Structures are given as structure tokens and as C-alpha cells.
Amino acid sequence: MDPEFGSLTDRLRDEAGDGPAYGRLVVTPDSEELAAVLTAPGQPLWARELAAFRLGVAGDRRAFEALVLLLNHRDPERCVSAAYALTRLRDPRTPRAAAALATNELRVAYALVPVRLLAALRAPESVPALVTALERRLDPEDPHWRVGVACAEGLGALGDVRAREVLEAAVPHPRVGEAARSALVRLGRGQP
């Protein structure tokens, strides 16, 4: 069993109460049944998440909208599961959606997983969105510095020289600076 699927089912079992509906959604091979959960009114969140995850990892694009909503959820575990499924879904809309979430200042408290997803996707949208998100985290008093660290790490992993200026600006930041320095080394600056 996929470890991420195992983690998801363990978490959702408690939420669902381990009833027959939960058991059916875990094992059904019927993608139509899973897709129906995403569109039927009154479905609990655990059911929608389970159906979207299973469809997403199977490459069924009907899961896209539900997974994007989960990617921006206040519960980090839901975000992580959605990101995992979105990387396997390979929907061409995913980078644009992740970029929109990563740069939405009204939802910056939930931007950590979309930022990491952007780096993993290595899409054309990744570097511009990560640069924008990092520029907004450069105030030393910014409470969302972890998002800034993730941006710097992602930019270092992507290795795109367009990130140099914002990474250099982030070096003096008390919490983001170390990640920015490491990213600059990866870009070939040569100084830790």
C-alpha cells in the first residue's frame, strides 16, 4: 500500500467513524462511484477528500477542483494529501492553481504546502510565483516566515538564476536568511 494512502485512510477512519461508507470508498475500484461523491450534495468532507485522493492518484482529472480546494485547507494534513495527489494527477492546471494559492496574501497562513508543491512541479509558473511569495515575506517581523523559508528552499532546488535578486535580499532576514544563503550556493554564487 502507498504510505501516503495509508496515512490518509488512518486519519480519515477516525473522522468517518470506520463505517460501511468509509470502507466502501477505501476499496471500490469504481471511478464513477468515487466521482459521484465529489458532485453529490451533502457528502462529508472526509468522503470528498478520500474520493478526490483516490481519483487524483489514478490520474482522473475529475478530482482536480476538489484537490485544489483541499490544498488550501486550514488542516495541514489535508493540504499535504492533496499536494501528493495533485503531483500524481499531472493536470496542466495544477501549477497555475498552486501559484495562485502561494501568492494569495489573504490565505498566506495556508500557503506552505502550495509553495512546496510549486517547487516539486518544476513548472514555468514555479519560479515567478516563488519569487513573488518570497518578496512578500522579507519583513523581519512577518509572522509567515516559514513560507519564506519554503520559498527560498524551493528556489534553491529549482536552480533558476531569476531568483538570485530576491534570495540576496532575503539573506539578512533573521529566519529566512540561512535558507536563502543555501539557495544562493545552489545557484552557483559559491559563498555560504
Please tell me the pTM assigned to this model: 0.91
Gap between the Cα atoms of 109 and 81, Å rounded: 18
Confidence of residue 191 (pLDDT cuts 50, 70, 90): very low
Percent of the chain whose predicted confidence (pLDDT) is above 90: 94
Task: Provide the mean pLDDT of the chain.
Answer: 95
Greatest Cα pair distance in the chain: 58
Tell me the residue length of the chain.
192
CA quadruple 137, 138, 143, 148: dihedral sign: positive
pLDDT tens across 58-75, in order? 999 999 999 999 999 999
**pLDDT, tens digit (0-9, with 9 covering 90-100), for 133-173:** 999 999 999 999 999 999 999 999 999 999 999 999 999 99
Q: Measured between alpha carbons, how far is residue 66 from residues 88, 151, 165 in Å?
A: 15, 25, 36
pLDDT in tens, 106-140: 999 999 999 999 999 999 999 999 999 999 999 99
- Residue 192 pLDDT exceeds 50: no
Residue 2's pLDDT is what? 85
How many other CB atoms are there within 10 angstroms of residue 58's CB atom? 14
The reported pLDDT for the residue numbered 45 is 97
Distance, in Å, from the CA atom of 94 to the CA atom of 136, rounded to the nearest integer, reads 22
The torsion of the CA quartet 113, 114, 118, 124, rounded to 10 degrees, works out to 180
